[in-house]
Amino acid sequence: MSDTFADIGLGADLVAELASLGYEEPTPIQRAAIGPLLAGRDLLGQAATGTGKTAAFALPILQRIAGERPAPGRPLALVLVPTRELAVQVSEAFHRYGRKLGTAVVPIYGGQEFHRQVAALRRGAHVVVATPGRALDHLRRETLDLGDLRMVALDEADEMLDMGFAEDLELILEAAPESRQTALFSATLPPRIASIAERHLRDPERILIARDAAKPGSMPKVRQVAYIVPRAHKVAALGRVLDLESPTLALVFCRTRIDVDELADRLAGRGYTVASLHGGMSQAERDRVMTRARAGSVDLLVATDVAARGIDIEHLTHVVNFDVPSSAEAYVHRIGRTGRAGREGVAITLVDPRAHRLLRNIEQATKQRVTICTVPTPRDVKARRMDVTRAAVRDAVAAGDLDAFRTIAESLASEFDPMDVAAAAIRLAHEAAEGDGSDQEEQHIPVIESFARPKPAPERPQGGDMVRIYISGGSKMGMRTADIVGAIANEARINPRGIGDIEIAETYSLVELPARDVDHVIRALRGATMRGRKLKVNRDLGIRPGK
């Protein structure tokens, strides 16, 4: 389908903003959801992470509340998400899309100073993006009032239920006006989600965006690797990986044409010969780029998915996903451009730690494991360059035709040790091939070797593998199971399915955790806030208050 954002009902301001951000066409979930939401329908959408559902609900919300002025503490739209990372991510998306509309967006989540959130709410927010526990805290303290709410969106609802937020969601939805519009998005639709939808959605539009599956035999012969890298370090990491891989030609995919231009400039600054392809180019410009690429005068071709359609270059050895693709279908289509005619290709994916679920989706859909690698160090890169130089010298010796240079070698050998002469010649060849080097600054890149992969059964070790921790807050201060589960999942990034028994007494709580996670969770929670207070967290030693 080729519908544009204008075709599916978005106004000129939003369409112009999306164009300036480099978005070229809506994704399937956006095509299916935006129209009904603009028409005021409730919506129940099943779609995996990374299919573009943030924009699917953010854009209609922005259009429907544009030009209105919210009262202090009384937002016009509320978006509920499971984690603080997603709250920040969704808030940033609203800000990007609504820049020219003057939309005020406030994220509220645990771990952030409460009084700062109160101040932001009092200034007036069109949209509040919140984790359920913190939203409920504000409702109970009356710093958040849902009386003017026009729209509610629940993003990743199944994840919120897995984290123990079912009760919170019910209380929040019951506090919202009955006349509001509700959109619920979930990767799966278990009975608990269906029950919430039945109680809180009115005759919803139902949308299913099936997780893409690769067709049998459609996966190319490609070595698939991924590097878990924070976004701020992606360019440096990519430089090292490319130096290590030494591609003949690599096709690097970005999400938007703005990303394409920025990345191409930065890679060119690191010494690569780079060309760009995106929807903002004329056909003549595109033809010139493809001519250069096919002639072998380009090291890297940086492109969007739309602009890269139809690319077929015989000597393309590597495909790089600068961001994880939005679907398994897109991933398979991208990496299929290499590994053809029986040759092995290489697919490299750079994964922001927050986006690891997208990679899991792709693995599950393609039934193939992507190998998680550690970003090469400067020493690894230098060793690789030396190997390349060694191979080049060996090939030159094997090829012969050295008579023109033998006279110089014999002359120098009469003055110096022949081994020193050879070493000096190799050094000069190595430095000439290396040029300025693409990683001279030896930038420190955080090492993230892997992420927790889903298990077929809940991750709960048995017997002696569980250890209890003590938290200095209990039922007297309103502590609930959802607060504890949410804090552990958000602050320590631990799979909530691994948490064991939780005992909440009047003044303290005890939590069972896998032994391997205990020290990490204690460190993470010591700086966190639960129920508006910083609490003591230690291994449980059996000592209780008053004893």
CATH code at position 299 = 3.40.50.300
Evaluate whether residue 456 is within a structural domain. no
- Same domain flag for 204 and 167: yes
The last residue of one of the domains, among 167, 185, 208, is 208
Tell the residue number behind the tokens 């035999």, with chain if given: 217
For residue 342, pLDDT over 80 is answered with no
- Same domain flag for 330 and 393: no
- pLDDT bracket for residue 107 (50, 70, 90): very high
For residue 535, pLDDT over 70 is answered with yes
- Same domain flag for 277 and 366: yes
- What percent of the chain is predicted at pLDDT more than 70? 87
- pLDDT bracket for residue 79 (50, 70, 90): very high
For residue 75, pLDDT over 90 is answered with yes
**Rounded CA separation 482/474 (Å):** 13
Evaluate whether residue 547 is within a structural domain. no
Exposed e or buried b for every residue in 256-294, given b needs 16+ CB within 10 A?
bbbbbbebbebbbebbbebbbbbbbbeeeebeebbeebe
- Of 286-300, 444-458, 479-493, the least confident: 444-458
Q: Report the CATH number that the domain containing residue 484 is assigned in CATH.
A: 3.30.70.330
- pLDDT bracket for residue 493 (50, 70, 90): confident
Average pLDDT over residues 93-98: 90
Average pLDDT over residues 527-543: 79
Residue 417 has what DSSP assignment? -
- Closest among 112, 84, 83 to 534, alpha carbons compared: 112
For residue 308, pLDDT over 80 is answered with no
User: The tokens of 425 are what?
Assistant: 């010649």
Considering 71-85, 306-320, 447-461, 516-530, the range whose residues carry the highest mean pLDDT is: 71-85
Average pLDDT over residues 327-331: 78
- Of 93-107, 172-186, 236-250, 339-353, the least confident: 339-353
Q: What is the pLDDT of residues 270-285, one digit of tens each?
A: 888 999 988 777 777 8
Domain that holds residue 501: 463-539
Evaluate whether residue 476 is within a structural domain. yes
- Same domain flag for 61 and 200: yes
Contact between 15 and 55 (Cβ < 8 Å): no
Can you give the C-alpha Rg of the chain in angstroms?
A: 28
- Same domain flag for 58 and 197: yes
Evaluate whether residue 155 is within a structural domain. yes
Q: What is the pLDDT of residues 19-54, one digit of tens each?
A: 888 787 888 889 999 999 999 999 999 886 667 788
Evaluate whether residue 251 is within a structural domain. yes
**Rounded CA separation 109/233 (Å):** 26
Contact between 77 and 127 (Cβ < 8 Å): yes
- Same domain flag for 162 and 226: no
Average pLDDT over residues 301-330: 82
- Same domain flag for 147 and 274: no
Evaluate whether residue 256 is within a structural domain. yes
The last residue of one of the domains, among 434, 450, 474, is 434
The last residue of one of the domains, among 395, 417, 434, is 434
- Same domain flag for 232 and 181: no
Average pLDDT over residues 376-395: 75
- Same domain flag for 128 and 265: no
Q: Which residues pair with 371 in a beta bridge?
A: 225
For residue 512, pLDDT over 80 is answered with yes
Average pLDDT, the chain: 82
For residue 515, pLDDT over 80 is answered with yes
Strand residues in 60-142 grouped as ranges (E): 77-80, 105-108, 127-130
**Rounded CA separation 203/201 (Å):** 6
Contact between 510 and 537 (Cβ < 8 Å): no
User: What pLDDT, on the 0 to 100 scale, is given for residue 257?
Assistant: 82
**Rounded CA separation 337/311 (Å):** 8
Evaluate whether residue 531 is within a structural domain. yes
Q: What is the pLDDT of residues 137-155, one digit of tens each?
A: 999 999 999 999 999 999 9
Evaluate whether residue 135 is within a structural domain. yes
- Same domain flag for 267 and 137: no
- Same domain flag for 200 and 64: yes
- pLDDT bracket for residue 360 (50, 70, 90): confident
User: What pLDDT, on the 0 to 100 scale, is given for residue 433?
Assistant: 59
- Same domain flag for 91 and 133: yes
- Of 222-231, 451-460, 534-543, the least confident: 451-460
Q: Which residues pair with 467 in a beta bridge?
A: 513
For residue 408, pLDDT over 50 is answered with yes
Query: How many folded domains does the chain comprise?
Result: 4
First to last CA, the chain: 69
